Amino acid sequence: MDAEATLRAMPDREAALSRFQTTQHMILPYTIEFSGPDEATSIAYMYAQHFLPNDKGDSWL
């Protein structure tokens, strides 16, 4: 699936994220290994926090 098809297949991201009071997304550490002048492989880890105030206790998702 190409990048445009992936974006079309995703739900409305703005509507989905608007329910959160705060979000934080970090991508680290990342490595890039070059195997040629026009080719590389990258590995990265994503850490995401979403804050949703509620009356049930823990608000972090």
In angstroms, the CA 12 to CA 45 distance is 24
The model scores a pTM over 0.85: no
In angstroms, the CA 61 to CA 30 distance is 24
The DSSP secondary-structure symbol of 25 reads E
Could you tell me the two tokens for 18?
A: 């608007």
Q: Is the pLDDT of residue 46 over 70?
A: yes
Q: Is the pLDDT of residue 39 over 90?
A: yes
Q: How confident is the model at residue 16 (pLDDT cuts 50, 70, 90)?
A: confident
Tokens 């991201």 correspond to 13
Beta-carbon count within 10 A of 18 CB: 9
Q: Is the pLDDT of residue 1 over 60?
A: no
Beta-carbon count within 10 A of 11 CB: 7
